[in-house]
Structure 1
Amino acid sequence: MPDLNLLITLDVLLSEGSVARAAKRLGLSPSAMSRALARLRETTGDPLLVRAGRGLVPTPRALELREQVGQLVQDAQAVLRPVQSLAMGEVVRTFTLRTSEEFVESVGPALLARIAQEAPDVRLRFVNKTDKDNALLREGSVDLETGVVDATASPEVLTQALFRDRLIGVVRSGHPLSQGDVSAERFAEGQHVYVSRRGQARGQIDDALEAQGLTRTITTIVAGFSTAIALARDTDLIAAVPERYATNRRDLFCFALPLALPAFTVAMLWHPRLDADLAHRWLRGCLREVCGQ
């Protein structure tokens, strides 16, 4: 297999027409450059540069190669040089995002509008996130994920915060809790819908209530916040959902939970192999901006 470094050496030799000047340009000794010229002559089967008086002149074969080699070296340098910009309006690509339905409902319209404006041939494929396993990111079948990042996040993936959020209570308009202060006791007395993607029967709200000597009744367990909101809207069930997913809805009454629960950070996650990809970087920037609005 030919040594492709010889292409660079040949390009410099042909442009300089001097072993000494070519050696200086490449930071080599004259003897090392002479050995490189000998290898080039052996590889091409042509003397390439021949003595004429005190200098060297190219052979007809070398003149043939000069333009071709120069272009090859330029192309190779372009391939290896970091890409600085990308015309997203010309990019045709589908990105797969693994996220919750609530996230798509909340952020999707603004994100799609931004993409339609800047990259009309970019398509988003949303797949539902049912667990925190990052295997699909590692395998490459998913380009980007969103979710609450915790200590169990894989060290193999990169993360960046999108926004902070907190759980709030929601009930239908006209529900008894929509009148008066919502105490921990009043909150615990109602019938609750609990969101658990893994089918668990209790969570941090139950722990916080238990610390106050209270227990709530969970009559329904669902897999997503959108379902919990829909049930709370049309029944007397009480739901606890992220504030971002419930605000600006006239059919719901929202209230602060009468419990000391920590806020949480929703982030995007991606595999390091896509970190420098300009189109992927652009998508991350779009998502970051629409989430910050």
Structure 2
Amino acid sequence: MSRQEVLVIGPIMPFVVERLKLHHDVVECENEADSAGFLAREGSRVRAVAVGLHGLSAKTIAALPKLEIIASFGVGYDAVDVAAAARAGVVVTHTPGVLTEEVADTALGLMLMTVRELSAAERHLREGRWQSEGNYRLSDGSLTGAVLGIVGLGRIGKAIAKRAEACGMKIHYHGRHRQADTAYPYHETVVDLARAADVVMVVAPGGAQTRHLINADVLAALGPHGYLINIGRGSVVDEAALVAALREGVIRAAGLDVFDDEPNVPSDLIEQPNAVLLPHVGSASRATRQAMGQLVVDNICAWLEGKPPLTPVPETPVPDCT
């Protein structure tokens, strides 16, 4: 296989760049002082692009007339304009599977922190209040016997369900359609799911179709004894409605690992004592992130060797690469 030029656009973990350099000549567009000028000069030669969470716009795709593959780092790929890629005949890949277990572990941990108030209890100890005020108060929530309503029962959603069942929870779900291979109760709408659930776990992808899917109506249906957990995409939750719900006792608490405008978390949300907030660490172990990065590399290398990509997204074509 001859070495070819691979373009890396936006911030991405150094591991990806290092591994790509073993096989190809890598140009990091972020390191170019004049990225627009660079694309105008060099874009006509680029067949493959690797991108991080910032994705790729239709404008940039149009500036790369010979582009054939966009390898996106992450299972979610809503930051890549897949419609523009499809129109241009460009295949988009992502990194599913390799992060499933790690994210499911984080989801379970975040749910435990939120429902059992573990982070608040830790602060009680660290601030010396155990000594000065006595024991931390009894938490109101418990996982045992509770109903977990999962929004998005894909790979990660099913891995979360398996863990939650081990904690004695009952699983319900909502998705675009009922899944014939699962016996979990299905709800046609998110509002109906929220009414039935003690905890709503959001695992849905981002994008226009799911933006603010979790809104004031859903939170009201979840109710004053309910919990919201989001490890999917921040855009799925209406953060203003969530702040109001937390402040007014519409729901009991929320645990979030993702936000609408990362890393800018609204101060109103940070100020809510019944919100547990993590800085998007769902898959953030070294081993998992390296596995994700290797899949980015493997998709690009396979394509440039004339082989099919390993993990293409369904919205873009996979033309004959021979």
Greater fraction of residues in helix: 1
User: Max radius of gyration: which structure?
Assistant: 1
User: Higher relative CO (CA 8 A, sep ≥ 6), structure 1 or 2?
Assistant: 1
TM-score normalized by the length of structure 2: 0.30
The alignment's TM-score, normalised by the length of structure 1, stands at: 0.32
Higher strand content, 1 or 2? 1
